[in-house]
Amino acid sequence: MNGEIAVARIVTFDELGPVGLICIDNPPVNAISHSVRLKLVDVIARAQKNPGIKALLIMSDSELFSAGADITEFNRPQGEPSLQQVQTAIESSPIPVVAAMRGLALGGGLELAMACHYRLAHKDAKLGMPEITLGIIPGAGGTQRLPRLIGARAALNLILSGTPISGLEAKVKGLVDEVAEDDLRDAALRFCERLVREGRGPRPTCNRTAEDALDEAEIASSLLAHARVLKGRTTQDLVIEAIKASKLPFSQGVAIEAALAQKSLASRESLALRHVFFAERESGKLSGVSSVDAKRTQPPAIQRVAVVGAGTMGSGIAIAFADAGLEVLLNDNDPASLIRSREIVHSTYASGVRRGRITQSVADERIRRIRNAPALDEVADADLVIEAVFEDTELKKDVLSKLDSVLPPERVIATNTSTLSVTELARATAHPGRVLGLHFFVPAHASRLLEIARTDHTSPESLATAFRVAKVLKKVAVVSRDAFGFIGNRMMLDGYFREAEQLLLEGATPAQVDTALENFGFAMGPQRVSDLGGNDVGTKARVQLFKRESRPDPYFVIADRLTEMGRLGQKTGRGFYRYENGSREAVPDPEVNNLIEKLASDRGIRRREINDQEIVERCILSLINVGAMVLEEGIAARAANIDVVWTSGYGFPRYLGGPMFYADTLGLSQVWQRIRHYQEKLGYYWRPATLIERLASASSGFEQWDRTSASR
Ligand code: T1G
């Protein structure tokens, strides 16, 4: 295409001899929207009146079959025909209907194919039922037809996992009849012509019966296999109930599924998960430009990235880009660092091969993409340069200044700092518009979140490049205005983690605080996280913070004292907990409890029994309160962006939607009252954010605030 985005034709029909070819064309993901359903029913009806058409073939000319039902329709009445009505038109067709799938065939898209009489898939196609990731169950016959095609046990695992299987696997399971090695359209047309020649007619899936039934032992083992990803979730119970109904006559089973699907759609869990789904996409755009329009304004392609600083972070960033298929120049003026970096790269990929995540040949290819570039001027032709040198302002300013002279003026220079002022670093260059922060989270090659820190001078073009970097790395991008801790670390240090330490001083133990918050839904409690990352990391961040701002005592007095004592956490075998013989198991340590008691008594803090409810409430409310401050200070543009940061980068449970969405479910009046309660009880830093007070008094919430701020 000459850069023009072709007008979507929604659904096309071509008569190819005895085969009626129906192509779905609804970019960007061929969602089975209302307009697609309308045209499908119309085209199928008209084709069936054409005596020359002996078989119908449904496929797509784009790189994917369909991403499923149109999620944007879920919050409003879905116009007729419903997907179920389209499926009935297919299944009851007097002539055979064949689906041919390439790329993604997900959710309602795969359900559409399952209502067809035959199915083909390209060997590399990905067929899946990801509905559970949105807190819903398949609602277009998936829990009824899938058991009839691959068995109830296999159907349960495919739906609970939410992850797709390949075309080849689908063939083995009986989900598809034929696999195309290369040209899917050609293979599918030949398949249809053979059907017609052999006089093989419709084969309604609904007339089949599931060979096996779910028994409690299989259900238990399937739930156990998915326990980690389904922790705290409830959708799986509805899935099981629906699949059990697949032993009933189809019409009864599909009615039971429909009722359960409606129930899942209305659940708070699904509202939260759909909120995060759209928030992650919204946060990765320049002021709400859709991914289709954004294609018109894409910045220049990024083929080669340079990373300056071959330490742990620099090596991780290099690996992230190599994984994404880019060439990487890794620069460091210390040969020993480059050698150590090579060791990190090789050991990381060796671990990936050992765990079966990648093959040796893929690992070798990616390692080859990372080339050492000892001389700084070797990075001159990189499309993007990221500095990841030691967290020291003067050192970073020196590197940025040198890069500024080596690189063309429009080339983006990103700093990986997490605690320094990007604005101050940018002052070391003659072109501050091209400077921004790319805050990668450890491990850089695996974490999903990428905070983009923009200064008042960062240009839109530089931001567009940063968004493109996130897309290339398959990371979730959130823009933060340049301020201490950006969004996530500011809320962690001034809110959540700070309150956790305060609770320790007041009488709770690390294990009690961590367990209470893990029961709330966090992947890992704050003290375990601190021991994992290293208590010294937080201490170094606070050293930089106190150069710029102050905080009243106590402020991480426990973690900083542990650092002084060399109790850095897992890496030294002792931190908030003990870790015996290199084990990662956090064992409570009486020595730490004694230290905490001493620090508390030095401050005249009277210790007491504290229950889990208070622990969770204070940690979560302080997180929400600082989040509101981050909003009112303009550091984050949207409350939904904060939710993205905390669900993708800090382990906040996705099924609760993120701290700000969760605050709305509590009700901001209730949130404000409880914050005021703790302000009266504890004083000093429990000042309610003005924004919470304002929204509470207006009986409003953060979601409404986002909507109005978007229109501002
Ligand atoms: N409906 C509507 N819009 C969708 C969509 C969908 N199913 N999937 C994606 N989009 C939009 C997305 O919001 C973005 O919009 C653009 O497409 C590009 O998406 C009845 C009830 C397919 C792997 O859960 O996992 O079927 O930002 O940025 O990174 O039982 O999108 O341009 O405005 O994510 O290449 C089940 C959800 C639905 C799949 C592509 N299906 N989508 O990833 O692009 S429920 C899913 C994805 C259902 C049935 C049930 C991903 C992707 P905008 P993107 P991508």
pLDDT of 352-362, one tens digit each?
Answer: 999 999 999 99
Q: Please tell me the predicted confidence (pLDDT) of residue 296.
A: 54
User: Would you give the distance in Å from CA 456 to the centre of its chain?
Assistant: 28
- CA gap 548, 563 in Å, rounded: 21
Residue 297 has pLDDT above 70, yes or no: no
DSSP 3-state of 70: coil
688 pLDDT higher than 50: yes
Q: Which residues contact 76 (CB under 8 A, 6 or more apart)?
A: none
Rounded to an integer, what is the distance from CA 603 to the centroid of its chain?
42
Question: Using CA atoms, how far apart are residues 289 and 300, in angstroms rounded to an integer?
Answer: 17
Length of the chain: 712
CB contact at 8 A, 60 and 66: yes
Residue 25 near residue 9, CB atoms below 8 Å: yes
Q: Which amino acid is at 304?
A: R
> What pLDDT is stored for residue 401 in this prediction?
96
What percent of the chain clears pLDDT 90, i.e. is strictly above it? Answer: 91
502 Cβ contact partners less than 8 Å away, ≥ 6 residues apart: 554, 618, 682
Ligand 1 mutation pick, 24, 29, 263, max ligand atoms within 8 A of CB: 29
| pLDDT for position 144 | 98
Distance 29 CA to ligand 1 centre (A): 6
**In which band, very low, low, confident or very high, does the pLDDT at 40 lie, cut at 50, 70 and 90?**
very high
From residue 496, alpha-carbon distances to 415, 503, 535, 646 in Å are 26, 11, 16, 11
DSSP structure class, residue 462? H
Q: For a pLDDT cut of 70, what percent of the chain falls above it?
A: 97
In the predicted model, is pLDDT for residue 457 greater than 80? yes
pLDDT above 80 (res 542): yes
Residue from 30, 36, 71, 654 to probe ligand 1 pocket by mutation (most atoms less than 8 Å from CB): 71
pLDDT of residue 400: 97
Q: Which atom of ligand 1 is nearest to the CA of 138?
A: 30
User: pLDDT by residue (tens digit) across 119-149?
Assistant: 999 999 999 999 999 999 999 999 999 999 9
Token pair recorded at residue 308: 């300056």
Please write the tens of the pLDDT for every residue from 59-116: 998 999 999 999 999 988 888 999 999 999 999 999 999 999 999 999 999 999 999 9
Q: How far is the CA of 45 from the centre of ligand 1 (A)?
A: 28
Task: Tell me the per-residue pLDDT of 160-180, one tens digit each, with 9 for 90 and over.
Answer: 999 999 999 999 999 999 999
The answer to whether residue 46 scores a pLDDT higher than 90 is yes
| Residue of the CA atom closest to atom 42 of ligand 1 | 67
Cα of 657 vs centre of ligand 1, distance in Å, is 18
Tokens of 596: 């905490």
Q: Is the pLDDT of residue 585 over 50?
A: yes
Reported in sequence order, the residue ranges of 455-541 that DSSP labels E, i.e. its strands, are 476-481
Lowest model confidence (mean pLDDT) among 280-284, 571-575, 609-613: 280-284
Specify whether the CB–CB gap between 329 and 373 falls below 8 A: yes
Q: Which two tokens stand for residue 573?
A: 């075998």
Long-range interactions of 358-365: CB distance < 8 A, separation 24+: none
Q: Report pLDDT for 588.
A: 97
3-state SS string for 157-170? HHHHHCCCEEHHHH
The pLDDT confidence band at residue 709, using thresholds 50, 70 and 90, is confident
Mean pLDDT in residue range 314-321: 96
Is the model's pLDDT at 271 over the cut of 90? Answer: yes
Ligand 1 residue neighbourhood (C-beta within 6 Å): 28-29, 31, 67-72, 83, 104, 106-108, 111, 130-131, 134, 136, 138-140, 142, 281, 290-292
Q: State residue 213's pLDDT score.
A: 84
Note the pLDDT of residue 294. Answer: 55
The pLDDT of residue 2 is above 80: no
pLDDT above 60: residue 374: yes
The values of phi and psi at residue 655, to 5°, are -75, 0
Q: Which residue's CA is the nearest one to ligand 1's atom 22?
A: 67
Say whether pLDDT at 291 is over 70. Answer: no
Query: From the alpha carbon of 72, which atom of ligand 1 is closest?
Result: 2
Band the pLDDT of 290: cuts 50, 70, 90.
low
Distance CA 271, CA 278 (A): 11
- pLDDT range class, residue 210, cuts 50, 70, 90: confident
d(CA 550, CA 529): 24
Catalytic residue positions, numbered: 69, 108, 111, 131
pLDDT in tens, 588-623: 999 999 999 999 999 999 999 999 999 999 999 999
Average pLDDT of the residues of the chain: 94
Nearest atom in ligand 1 to the alpha carbon of residue 285 is: 27
Helix (H, G, I), strand (E, B) or coil at 417: coil
Confidence of residue 288 (pLDDT cuts 50, 70, 90): very low
Contact 705, 695 (CB under 8 A): yes
Residue 5 has pLDDT above 80, yes or no: no
Distance, in Å, from the CA atom of 180 to the CA atom of 196, rounded to the nearest integer, reads 19
Q: Where are the alpha helices (H) located in 382-421, listed in sequence order?
A: 393-406
Gyration radius of the chain's alpha carbons: 28
Pairing of strands 118-122, 97-101: parallel
Tell me, what's the pLDDT at 76?
Answer: 84
Q: Evaluate if residue 293 carries a pLDDT over 70.
A: no
Task: Write down all domains in the chain, each with its CATH number in brackets.
Answer: 4-266 (3.90.226.10), 291-481 (3.40.50.720), 488-634+637-711 (1.10.1040.50)
CA–centroid distance, residue 379 to ligand 1 (Å): 37
d(CA 6, ligand 1 centre) in Å: 20
Higher pLDDT, 9 or 447: 447
